[in-house]
Chain A
Amino acid sequence: MDEFMTSRLPDDGAGWIAIGLSDDVPAGCVTGVVLAGRQLALWRDGEGAPHLWEDRCPHRGMRMSLGFVRGNDLACLYHGWRFDGAGQCRQIPAHPELKVSARICMKTFDVAERGGMLWGWHGRDRATGAPEVAASGTAVRSIHAAVPAGAMRVMLEETPGEFFYGLGQLLPVGGHPDLFSLTMEDGTGELVLALQPISSAQCAVHAVLRGQADAALRAECARRMGWLRDSAERGHDDRQGADT
């Protein structure tokens, strides 16, 4: 587990990790994500600002990812405690008159939105800088594969042609073990892939297009992402089979 948590992160072990496509979480919605082995709740308030919190209510431990958004607050499903965007509890419905103690608050994590993706900061200290991807991006697809991130990384580094032939050459982005980019052969656009480790047996890859991103190209790229997942899981099964 430790190895999984640390080996993949550059330099000092801190950095931004892609946790989903911007389109995955509409305003007023909440979902569960995994950031470096940790279960977190990712939600957008009524104004569309993203928030990333520990997925556990301080009251009785309920997962906040099953909560519901009211205005710019996230409420817990169990007893309706309401937390504002900063994670501070503002209302306890069982005692509507009660002034809520400042001690009742969520553990929050830094979140950023860039390049059509949402990013969570993994590190002991608060985030520094923005995720190093271009600002714009159009969602293609996220895939979740039942293989560790390491196996997926090896596939993307060593045999990208199997999935992306005819489109262009997929290359690692310098200094980022989890970022890959493919410039379309006709030079009209770029496919960006961000790898998200989830557990020792699971990862996700988030794909966005920059520049030209018409429906046909998006559909084609989405299809290739499906191949990538199928092939990764098949290859992984074969290798596991060969081991036993």
Chain B
Amino acid sequence: MTLTTDPVALDAWYAVATASEVTHRPDRTRLLGQDIAIDRCRDTGAIRVRPVLHGGEYGDPLPVIERYACVFTTFGNPDTPIVEIEEAGEPDRRVVPCGWFTIRSSGPRIVENFLDMAHFPYVHTDILGSEPNTDVGPYRAEIRADVDEVWATGCHFWQPRGAATERDGSGMMMHIDYRVPSPFIVMLYRVAPSAPDRRDAIALFIQPMGEELCRAQPVEFLVDEISTHTELLHFEQVIFLQDRLILENQVPRRLPLDGQAEIPTRADTASVAYRRWLAAKGLGYGTILPHGQGERA
């Protein structure tokens, strides 16, 4: 495997490790087809991310930024900084990295799954949804040109047990806003179950190892003081394993950006906006560009 030449994929920031887990011993992983090693310099204590070249020696260190409990890096020259998550700065927020999951699918398919409410009753049965409450009401999806992000607002869905704090399973209408600040990062904001006047934020940071193989880590920014770390991890793990069964069985694994390739319905307004946004960017990594657009390496 070699590093992609896709300029859109290269010019983005990616989370590639949990900062607290980086040690002096280099940890090998892969980003965009390139093997990399992550470790903590013995002298300075600083985290380093270096490409592993043929023959095993390390190349020049890549830029590193520690943020949101993660280590971010890039191969290119991103013209935007790492996504700004305001909630992360609030002093009473818990920042909970929920662990890395490996998925045999493309990053864009993973983002789209995260943006999707219609699957809750079928994939996360009795947790994030259940029959007969399958309706996806109208919501608004837009590409915000000023910030170059995709947003879906006014989303609402009936959830039996939408968060780790919801133990009794009596259910509630969950109000959610979705945000895609970068092609491989997706977020949601929802009313905090334990503090109705505030919103929890959850970010999913995707590390595309290859076009059809990713790691992803959900990081939660919570005002929840009740759930233990273990409960939160367990909740995310159950949800993730259910999504993985879907993601690894979608054909094709790469996201088709041609509007005719798959048939959306009104509930897919967010997915349609995301696909348009990616097509306009010309992202070819982990996608299938419309015919005649972009030369694939």
The chain A residues found within 8 Å of chain B, CB to CB, are: 39, 55-56, 58-63, 66, 77-80, 92-96, 98, 103-104
Q: A56 to B251, alpha carbons, bound, how many Å?
A: 7
B250 adjacent to chain A (CB < 8 Å): yes
Known: A61-B250, A61-B252, A62-B249. A77 touches B122 (CB 8 A): yes
Query: Which chain B residue has the least Cβ–Cβ distance from A77?
Result: B122
Q: Which residues of B sit under 8 angstroms from A66, Cβ to Cβ?
A: 245, 249
Q: A62 to B245, alpha carbons, bound, how many Å?
A: 10
Q: Which residues of B sit under 8 angstroms from A77, Cβ to Cβ?
A: 122-123, 245-246
Q: A104 to B135, alpha carbons, bound, how many Å?
A: 19
1/0 contact string of B110-152 vs chain A (CB within 8 Å): 0010001111011100000001001110000000000000000
1/0 contact string of B238-263 vs chain A (CB within 8 Å): 00000001100111100010000011
Q: A95 to B245, alpha carbons, bound, how many Å?
A: 24
How far is the CB of B157 from the nearest CB of chain A, in Å?
A: 10
Known: A62-B246, A93-B131, A96-B134. A55 touches B251 (CB 8 A): yes
Q: A104 to B265, alpha carbons, bound, how many Å?
A: 11
B266 adjacent to chain A (CB < 8 Å): yes
| B123→A94 contact, CB < 8 A | no
Q: Which residues of A sit under 8 angstroms from B267, Cβ to Cβ?
A: 79, 94-95
How far is the CB of B216 from the nearest CB of chain A, in Å?
A: 18
Using a Cβ cutoff of 8 Å, how many contacts connect chains A and B?
72
| A95→B266 contact, CB < 8 A | yes
| B265→A92 contact, CB < 8 A | yes
Query: Which chain B residue has the least Cβ–Cβ distance from A105?
Result: B263
How far is the CB of A82 from the nearest CB of chain B, in Å?
A: 11
Q: Which residues of A sit under 8 angstroms from B123, Cβ to Cβ?
A: 77-78
How far is the CB of B122 from the nearest CB of chain A, in Å?
A: 5
Q: Which residues of A sit under 8 angstroms from B131, Cβ to Cβ?
A: 80, 93
Q: A58 to B265, alpha carbons, bound, how many Å?
A: 11
Q: Contact check: which of B118, B245, B250, B252 meets A94 at CB < 8 Å?
A: B118
Q: Which residues of A sit under 8 angstroms from B121, Cβ to Cβ?
A: 80, 93
How far is the CB of B118 from the nearest CB of chain A, in Å?
A: 4
| B250→A62 contact, CB < 8 A | yes
Q: A80 to B131, alpha carbons, bound, how many Å?
A: 10
| A94→B262 contact, CB < 8 A | no
Known: A62-B249, A94-B136. A79 touches B263 (CB 8 A): no
1/0 contact string of B206-247 vs chain A (CB within 8 Å): 000000000000000000000000000000000000000110
How far is the CB of B155 from the nearest CB of chain A, in Å?
A: 12
Q: Contact check: which of B249, B266, B268 meets A63 at CB < 8 Å?
A: B249
Known: A95-B135, A95-B136. A60 touches B265 (CB 8 A): no
| A94→B263 contact, CB < 8 A | no
Q: Which residues of A sit under 8 angstroms from B262, Cβ to Cβ?
A: 58-61
| A79→B266 contact, CB < 8 A | no
Q: Which residues of A sit under 8 angstroms from B112, Cβ to Cβ?
A: 60
Q: Contact check: which of A58, A79, A98, A103 meets B118 at CB < 8 Å?
A: A79
How far is the CB of A57 from the nearest CB of chain B, in Å?
A: 9
Query: Which chain B residue has the least Cβ–Cβ distance from A97?
Result: B135
Q: A55 to B251, alpha carbons, bound, how many Å?
A: 9
13 residue pairs from A and B, CB less than 8 Å apart: A55-B251, A59-B263, A60-B112, A60-B271, A61-B256, A78-B123, A78-B246, A79-B118, A79-B119, A93-B135, A94-B134, A94-B136, A95-B135
Q: A58 to B116, alpha carbons, bound, how many Å?
A: 16
Q: Which residues of B sit under 8 angstroms from A39, Cβ to Cβ?
A: 251
How far is the CB of B106 from the nearest CB of chain A, in Å?
A: 11
What 3 pairs between A and B have smallest CB-CB spacing?
A: A93-B134, A94-B267, A94-B118
Query: Which chain B residue has the least Cβ–Cβ distance from A54?
Result: B251
How far is the CB of B251 from the nearest CB of chain A, in Å?
A: 5
How far is the CB of B115 from the nearest CB of chain A, in Å?
A: 11
